[in-house]
Amino acid sequence: MYDIVSNVMHIKLSPSYVELLNSDGGMSQVRHVVLVLSGKGGVGKSTITTELALALRHAGNKVGILDIDLCGPSIPRMLNVGRTDVHQCDSGWVPVYTDAEKSLALMSIGFLLEDPDEAVVWRGPKKTALIGQFVSDVAWGELDVLLIDTPPGTSDEHLAVLDNLKKHRLDGAVLVTTPQAVSTGDVRREITFCKKTGVRILGIIENMSGFVCPHCSECSNIFSKGGGEELAKLTGSIFLGSVPLDPLLSTSLEEGKDFMQSFPDSATFSAISSIAQTLLSSIQTS
């Protein structure tokens, strides 16, 4: 297998890996593929991707995350797998598994950097080439859902992943926003992007919807409220739900811990679980 990445940067790839994968490589055994999009940075898109993956896994699904945010790969740290080598088998690159049961798989450029502080200073063609390899040359094996975490906006990475997914079934996209008008305005452009490229909008998630007090658990609206739900109504999209700002969630992400396992009695857990179940029902019945 020709490795385009080796021409552009030093990576950590082991030449062989003893792994019995009942797969012919790529995404042939991935049942559902979902893009996670945002119109702007800082809305917590990677947080939502990570927590949706954990919620789906705890519900008994095999889940994968493909992190194509090439310039800001944060999900490996959120899942506490930041310093892991990528191996190869006959079918391609073996994803990094975050648990012993191999129910949550992850692939990210963060695993391919010699130095985690190294900046990825690439033009479009190099990004497109790597995304092509990520889509076609990762041996995901059998997955119920593959979540693809994208960078903000509607740029080369988004077009590259859509082009490479043409031979696979893309279920659609989840859009993440915060309540403020400046964020929902950017998501409007993301909705236009989806319509122009023929991507089904599975729903809108409003993140940072209120602040959960760590002492009394009361939720206060420090930002405006309901922007995501109103946007869903105006654009005819499904509103999947709201996720509050929760210090327990922030701490879990910083420490690479599983929030969904640690705080099953929290309101944030209920919100994320409900969104994950609604999303799963939507793609299973489509």
Q: Which residue segments constitute the domains of the chain, with CATH numbers given?
A: 24-285 (3.40.50.300)
**pLDDT in the model for residue 223:** 67
**pLDDT in the model for residue 143:** 97
Residue 249 has pLDDT above 90, yes or no: yes
CB of 180 within 8 A of CB of 187?
no
pLDDT in tens, 121-163: 888 889 999 999 999 899 999 999 999 999 988 888 899 999 9
> Which two three-digit tokens encode residue 163?
């082009």
Helix, strand, coil share of the chain (percent; to 5): 35, 25, 40
Dist CA 6 CA 226 (whole Å) = 46
CB of 47 within 8 A of CB of 209?
no
pLDDT tier at 224, thresholds 50, 70, 90: low
Q: What's the rounded mean pLDDT across residues 165-169?
A: 87
Half-sphere exposure of 14 (CA within 13 A, CB side): 14
Residues placed in the known binding site for ATP = 39-46
Residue with tokens 């695993």: 111
pLDDT tier at 25, thresholds 50, 70, 90: low
Residues placed in the known binding site for [4Fe-4S] cluster = 213, 216
Residue 213 has pLDDT above 80, yes or no: no
CB of 134 within 8 A of CB of 107?
yes
**pLDDT in the model for residue 42:** 85
Threshold 0.85, pTM exceeds: yes
Dist CA 28 CA 203 (whole Å) = 25
Percent of the chain at pLDDT above 90? 55
Which is nearest to 131 in space by CA: 114, 148, 153?
A: 148
Residues placed in the known binding site = 39-46, 213, 216
State the first-to-last Cα distance of the chain, in angstroms, to the nearest integer.
35
- How many CB atoms are closer than 10 A to CB 195? 12
Exposure b/e, 24-37, CB count within 10 A at least 16 = b: ebbbebbbbbbbbb
Kindly report the length of the chain.
Answer: 286
Given CA atoms 57, 50, 266, 182 in this order, what sign does their dihedral have? negative
Q: What's the rounded mean pLDDT across residues 83-108?
A: 88
